[in-house]
Amino acid sequence: MGRKIVVALGGNAILSKDASAAAQQQALRDTAEHLVKFIENGDQLIISHGNGPQVGNLLLQQAAGSTEDNPEMPLDTAVAMTQGSIGYWMQNAMNQVIKEKGLNKTVATVVTQVEVSADDPAFSHPTKPIGPFMNKDEADLAKKQNPDFTFVEDSGRGYRRVVPSPKPIGVVETEAVNTLVDAGIVPISVGGGGIPVVSNGSQLVGKEAVIDKDFASEKLAELVGADALIILTAVDHIFVNFNQPNQQKLEAVTVSELEKFVGENQFAPGSMLPKVQAAMDFVKATGKEAVVTALDNIEGFIENGSGTVIKPEPSKV
């Protein structure tokens, strides 16, 4: 048996400028060509993914068409809906590529609930961007049409809606995911960071929030006993002094070294920082390695370890 790995895929890798179903399905077909390399390598693969653009678009569509007889759905339900739609596209794309390559695997989506604390301070401070980028006039119009929404400028790229983003404390379907892996099936889990729920006695209650998919992927990797967490992003490596003349890529780095860079504000809060923090959390919790690299660098990582590998502190014994 190969290593059990959780691979976290960003929602923006699924949707670029074209939000149509056909364009997203084609993007996932291209993604599957890369992800299947892990299966060819003998790894036990668990896939997670983001849904920020998709769930934001869905909420705007629902708000625009909401009526008293056909009201829009709450945010937790919209997360579940995009888990289902993206999972449907992704499992079909993966299964197609797997068959073309003559591999003996199948892929299945698990609609996943992720437990958060009802007292998480994030519920009072929305920070998670979802949905499309807008200019100022578009954001003002969207705010007028949806007074309960909060919009902020996002990393110099335009305005986006922000929602609460509580930290995950558990993954309800952990046992189901491990059962699928043990059966030789590739699960797609914690899609869009998972459906945020809080425990109320024997009941799980959905919350109006979106969980960061990197933190949800870390928690899943920790709970399923993964051998590695691999976070896929737009660049092959984590960089310090990014986009400056003294830019430097990180290859092998320890948690303490990364913590120093975090303290220097080297990583953008809405971009690389949560990936770095999730990777560090996994290494500290498990003593195993985490990797941050690009989707199209998967072959380079498998063949020669290319990418940023976050390692535990060396033993002092």
Catalytic residues: 11-12, 128, 213, 275
- Residue 57 makes CB contacts below 8 A (sequence gap 6+) with 19, 131, 132
Query: How does DSSP classify residue 68?
Result: S
- Closest Cα partner for 278 from 210, 215, 222, 192? 215
Location of structure tokens 């380079």: 300
- Closest Cα partner for 224 from 260, 262, 189? 189
Backbone φ, ψ for residue 204 (5° rounding): -105, 125
- The span from the CA of 254 to the CA of 283, in Å, is 9
Cβ atoms of 109 and 91 closer than 8 Å: yes
Backbone φ, ψ for residue 253 (5° rounding): -145, 145
Cβ atoms of 66 and 72 closer than 8 Å: yes
Q: Read out DSSP for 120-150?
A: -GGGGS--EEEEEEE-HHHHHHHHHH-TT-E
